[in-house]
Copies of this chain bind each other. A is one copy, B any other.
Amino acid sequence: MTRPAKRPTSSDVARAAGVSQTTVSFVLNNRPGQSIPEETRQRVLEAARNLNYRPHASARALAAGRSDIVLLSIPDIPIGAGISRFIEGLAGALAAHKLTLVTHLAGAHGRPLPDVCAAVGASAVVGFESFDPATIKELHRAGAEVVLPSHAEHSYAMHPIGQIQAKHLIERGHQRLGYALTAHPGLASMARDRLGGVIEACAEAGLPAPLALATSLDADVAADAVARWSAEGVTAICAFNDETATAILAGMRAHGLTSPQDLAVIGVDDIPTARLADPPLTTIIFDMDQVVTRRAEAVLAGLAKTTDQSDQAWIDPQIVVRSST
């Protein structure tokens, strides 16, 4: 009685319901094309419930040749509120299709992604940026059927963010913009993509290209950038994200400058402290539900072998206007 409570198998359920293990399998996966009377079906279902039966994932995966695990690889970047929401949303959307999302932080000391993929037996791997071909091949070898994002689709999804930032500032009458890059290496390419959007918007408005400067989450470094921007006649900054924007605000403080009078600043993400900044930060948010749904659909489509790989990861950014612009 004090046994480790051996977990019940499908045979146990079969015995309890008085049917064969095959039938249990049919009922539990309600296999189409199989004629099973409602009465039997209920009997099996009830037996399973009573025994608190849960199919053994490994056995199922082994037999079916496919697991229901989706692995999300998170690059070595600070995990902010935005990413959390993405993960949570994706997990929910996939759960609705009986898929389980697990995440893996690609840190310096962790195991390489293909190893992890193989270790969990994931049948799909989704990342933030496109994987390089070699990695994709590796992942397939490791058992993944679907690997997303597939193409360089990602970069286009980031452009609108920069565009909206820039357009807002241009509408406000600013003629010379600056762009604050991030010091975080994992975020560099994303920053370039967003900067691309800013450049486009400036070009469209017939303005000179933005002055992009590297910054870090250090007030002194940011202060240097601020000095440079001021010297060049820049009056408004598109920051890579809210943390970068906060750093700029701190850098301005060091020079006795105030926002938005001396320099308007706009961030991205709407982190919790964005509205608490001095002044409260204008920022960009986007409909995470939409993004999540798209991604989930892409995974599902891939798993269903629907070659309709139209993973148009379009995002629909919205501006949140506060006092920093």
Q: Which residues of A contact B (CB under 8 A)?
A: 4-5, 7, 52, 54-59, 61-62, 67-69, 71, 78-81, 83-84, 87-89, 91-93, 95, 100-105, 107-111, 114-116, 118-121, 137, 140-143, 217-219, 222, 243, 246-247, 249-250, 253, 271-273, 275-278, 280
List 11 A–B pairs whose Cβ atoms lie within 8 Å, in order of A's numbering: A54-B142, A56-B143, A58-B67, A91-B105, A92-B109, A100-B116, A101-B104, A103-B105, A243-B273, A247-B276, A278-B278
Number of copies: 2
B54–A141 contact, CB under 8 A?
yes
CA distance A88 to B75 in the complex (A): 11
A111–B100 contact, CB under 8 A?
yes
Contacts of A276 in B (CB 8 A): 217, 219, 222, 246-247, 249-250
Shortest distance between the CB of A128 and any CB in chain B (Å): 15
Shortest distance between the CB of A110 and any CB in chain B (Å): 4
A111–B87 contact, CB under 8 A?
no
Of B61, B88, B107, B275, the residue contacting A88 (CB under 8 A) is: B107
Q: A111-B100, A120-B57 are in contact. Are A250 and B278 (CB under 8 A)?
A: yes
CA distance A89 to B107 in the complex (A): 8
Contacts of A121 in B (CB 8 A): 56-58
CA distance A155 to B317 in the complex (A): 41
CA distance A239 to B88 in the complex (A): 27
Q: For residue A119, which residue of chain B has the nearest CB? A: B100
Contacts of A143 in B (CB 8 A): 7, 56-57
Q: For residue A77, which residue of chain B has the nearest CB? A: B84
**8 nearest CB pairs, A to B:** A92-B109, A88-B107, A102-B102, A58-B61, A100-B119, A250-B276, A58-B58, A91-B110
B58–A62 contact, CB under 8 A?
yes
B84–A110 contact, CB under 8 A?
no
Shortest distance between the CB of A303 and any CB in chain B (Å): 14
